[in-house]
Amino acid sequence: MPVVSMTVNGKAVSADVDIRTLLVQYLRESLRLTGTHVGCDTSQCGACVIHLDGKAVKSCTTLAVQCEGSNVLTIEGLAAPDGPLHPMQEAFRENHGLQCGFCTPGMVMAAVDMVNRKGNELDEHTIRQELDGNLCRCTGYHNIVKSIAAGAKAMKGSSQAA
Protein backbone atom coordinates (compact mmCIF):
# COMPACT_ATOMS: atom_id res chain seq x y z
CA MET A 1 0.00 0.00 0.00
CA PRO A 2 1.30 3.46 -0.82
CA VAL A 3 2.03 6.02 1.87
CA VAL A 4 -0.02 9.17 1.41
CA SER A 5 1.00 12.43 3.05
CA MET A 6 -1.12 15.55 3.15
CA THR A 7 -2.00 18.44 5.42
CA VAL A 8 -5.44 18.17 7.00
CA ASN A 9 -6.77 21.18 8.90
CA GLY A 10 -3.24 22.53 9.21
CA LYS A 11 -1.73 19.32 10.54
CA ALA A 12 0.62 17.08 8.56
CA VAL A 13 -0.69 13.52 8.33
CA SER A 14 0.68 10.42 6.67
CA ALA A 15 -0.63 6.87 6.40
CA ASP A 16 -0.54 3.66 4.41
CA VAL A 17 -3.65 3.80 2.24
CA ASP A 18 -5.21 1.24 -0.04
CA ILE A 19 -5.35 2.78 -3.51
CA ARG A 20 -9.15 2.34 -3.55
CA THR A 21 -9.70 4.34 -0.34
CA LEU A 22 -11.88 7.36 -0.86
CA LEU A 23 -10.87 10.62 0.78
CA VAL A 24 -14.09 10.65 2.80
CA GLN A 25 -13.23 7.19 4.18
CA TYR A 26 -9.72 8.29 5.05
CA LEU A 27 -10.98 11.40 6.83
CA ARG A 28 -13.72 9.61 8.75
CA GLU A 29 -12.14 6.23 9.47
CA SER A 30 -8.42 6.93 9.72
CA LEU A 31 -8.40 10.49 11.04
CA ARG A 32 -11.73 10.29 12.91
CA LEU A 33 -12.91 13.57 11.38
CA THR A 34 -16.56 12.60 11.23
CA GLY A 35 -17.96 16.03 10.35
CA THR A 36 -17.59 15.13 6.69
CA HIS A 37 -20.64 12.99 6.00
CA VAL A 38 -21.38 10.20 3.53
CA GLY A 39 -24.84 10.68 2.12
CA CYS A 40 -24.95 9.04 -1.29
CA ASP A 41 -21.53 7.78 -2.49
CA THR A 42 -22.39 9.11 -5.96
CA SER A 43 -21.44 12.81 -5.60
CA GLN A 44 -25.05 13.93 -5.81
CA CYS A 45 -25.84 15.09 -2.25
CA GLY A 46 -22.84 17.23 -1.25
CA ALA A 47 -22.73 16.08 2.40
CA CYS A 48 -19.06 15.20 1.88
CA VAL A 49 -17.82 18.58 0.58
CA ILE A 50 -14.37 19.59 1.82
CA HIS A 51 -11.78 22.00 0.48
CA LEU A 52 -8.87 20.47 -1.41
CA ASP A 53 -6.10 22.96 -2.10
CA GLY A 54 -8.59 25.78 -1.58
CA LYS A 55 -11.40 24.45 -3.77
CA ALA A 56 -14.61 22.68 -2.78
CA VAL A 57 -14.65 19.03 -3.83
CA LYS A 58 -16.81 16.06 -3.02
CA SER A 59 -14.64 13.71 -0.99
CA CYS A 60 -16.81 10.68 -1.79
CA THR A 61 -15.48 10.64 -5.34
CA THR A 62 -11.90 11.65 -4.61
CA LEU A 63 -9.30 8.98 -3.91
CA ALA A 64 -7.06 9.59 -0.90
CA VAL A 65 -3.98 8.82 -3.03
CA GLN A 66 -4.94 11.72 -5.33
CA CYS A 67 -4.39 14.06 -2.39
CA GLU A 68 -0.69 13.36 -1.97
CA GLY A 69 0.95 16.63 -0.91
CA SER A 70 -2.37 18.47 -0.84
CA ASN A 71 -3.93 20.75 1.71
CA VAL A 72 -7.32 19.50 2.95
CA LEU A 73 -9.74 21.58 5.01
CA THR A 74 -12.74 19.95 6.65
CA ILE A 75 -15.57 21.45 8.68
CA GLU A 76 -13.56 20.66 11.83
CA GLY A 77 -10.77 22.95 10.66
CA LEU A 78 -12.90 25.86 9.47
CA ALA A 79 -12.78 27.63 12.85
CA ALA A 80 -10.10 27.47 15.51
CA PRO A 81 -10.92 24.82 18.15
CA ASP A 82 -10.80 27.37 20.97
CA GLY A 83 -12.07 30.35 19.00
CA PRO A 84 -15.39 31.64 17.73
CA LEU A 85 -17.27 29.93 14.93
CA HIS A 86 -16.36 30.81 11.35
CA PRO A 87 -18.69 33.60 10.11
CA MET A 88 -20.50 31.15 7.80
CA GLN A 89 -21.03 28.68 10.65
CA GLU A 90 -22.33 31.50 12.85
CA ALA A 91 -24.68 32.65 10.07
CA PHE A 92 -26.15 29.14 9.78
CA ARG A 93 -26.68 29.12 13.55
CA GLU A 94 -28.20 32.61 13.69
CA ASN A 95 -30.48 32.12 10.68
CA HIS A 96 -31.66 28.58 11.49
CA GLY A 97 -30.04 27.20 8.33
CA LEU A 98 -30.26 23.60 9.50
CA GLN A 99 -32.69 21.09 10.86
CA CYS A 100 -31.23 17.63 11.30
CA GLY A 101 -27.74 18.93 10.50
CA PHE A 102 -26.66 16.06 8.27
CA CYS A 103 -26.13 18.22 5.18
CA THR A 104 -24.88 21.25 7.12
CA PRO A 105 -21.11 20.60 7.04
CA GLY A 106 -21.17 20.15 3.28
CA MET A 107 -23.44 23.18 2.84
CA VAL A 108 -21.14 25.35 4.96
CA MET A 109 -18.02 24.21 3.10
CA ALA A 110 -19.74 24.77 -0.28
CA ALA A 111 -20.92 28.20 0.90
CA VAL A 112 -17.42 29.30 1.94
CA ASP A 113 -16.11 28.20 -1.45
CA MET A 114 -18.96 30.07 -3.13
CA VAL A 115 -17.98 33.29 -1.33
CA ASN A 116 -14.32 32.77 -2.21
CA ARG A 117 -15.24 32.44 -5.88
CA LYS A 118 -18.21 34.81 -6.21
CA GLY A 119 -17.61 37.48 -3.57
CA ASN A 120 -19.50 38.72 -0.55
CA GLU A 121 -22.60 40.11 -2.24
CA LEU A 122 -24.58 37.04 -3.26
CA ASP A 123 -28.17 37.22 -4.48
CA GLU A 124 -30.71 34.47 -3.96
CA HIS A 125 -30.55 33.24 -7.56
CA THR A 126 -26.76 32.86 -7.44
CA ILE A 127 -26.86 31.05 -4.10
CA ARG A 128 -29.55 28.64 -5.25
CA GLN A 129 -27.74 27.98 -8.54
CA GLU A 130 -24.42 27.39 -6.74
CA LEU A 131 -26.07 25.00 -4.27
CA ASP A 132 -27.00 22.66 -7.11
CA GLY A 133 -25.37 19.43 -5.98
CA ASN A 134 -25.96 20.01 -2.26
CA LEU A 135 -29.15 18.36 -1.09
CA CYS A 136 -31.09 19.00 2.08
CA ARG A 137 -33.88 16.56 2.75
CA CYS A 138 -35.37 18.50 5.70
CA THR A 139 -35.80 22.13 4.68
CA GLY A 140 -37.12 24.17 1.81
CA TYR A 141 -33.72 25.90 1.48
CA HIS A 142 -35.13 29.32 2.45
CA ASN A 143 -33.11 29.56 5.67
CA ILE A 144 -30.05 27.98 4.05
CA VAL A 145 -30.08 30.67 1.35
CA LYS A 146 -30.62 33.34 4.01
CA SER A 147 -27.73 31.91 6.05
CA ILE A 148 -25.34 31.90 3.10
CA ALA A 149 -26.18 35.50 2.19
CA ALA A 150 -25.62 36.59 5.80
CA GLY A 151 -22.44 34.52 6.10
CA ALA A 152 -21.06 35.97 2.87
CA LYS A 153 -21.51 39.50 4.20
CA ALA A 154 -20.02 38.54 7.57
CA MET A 155 -16.97 37.05 5.85
CA LYS A 156 -16.15 40.41 4.26
CA GLY A 157 -13.04 41.62 6.00
CA SER A 158 -13.08 38.74 8.46
CA SER A 159 -9.76 37.18 9.42
CA GLN A 160 -11.50 33.80 9.04
CA ALA A 161 -12.55 34.35 5.42
CA ALA A 162 -11.37 30.86 4.53
pLDDT in tens, 6-18: 999 999 999 999 9
Q: Is there a contact between 107 and 144 (Cβ–Cβ < 8 Å)?
A: yes
Which DSSP category does 150 fall into? H
**Cα-based distances in Å from 34 to 28, 70, 155:** 5, 20, 25
Q: Domain range for residue 28?
A: 3-77
CATH code assigned at 96: 1.10.150.120
What is the tens place of the pLDDT at every residue in 86-96?
999 999 999 99
Q: Collapsing DSSP states into helix, strand and coil, what is residue 147?
A: helix
Could you give the C-alpha distances from 39 to 4, 25, 75, 96, 162, in angstroms and in order?
25, 12, 16, 21, 24
Instruction: Please indicate, yes or no, whether residues 73 and 91 belong to a single structural domain of this protein.
Output: no
Q: What integer pLDDT is reported at residue 40 of this predicted model? A: 85
57: nearest Cα among 109, 120, 127, 123: 109
Share of the chain above pLDDT 70, in %: 96
72 and 91 share one domain: no
Residues 64 and 41 in one domain: yes
Identify whether residues 8 and 73 lie together within a single domain.
yes
Bridge partner list, 73: 51
82 domain-assigned: no
- Count of structural domains within the chain: 2
Task: Please provide residue 114's backbone torsions phi and psi, each rounded to the nearest 5 degrees.
Answer: -60, -45
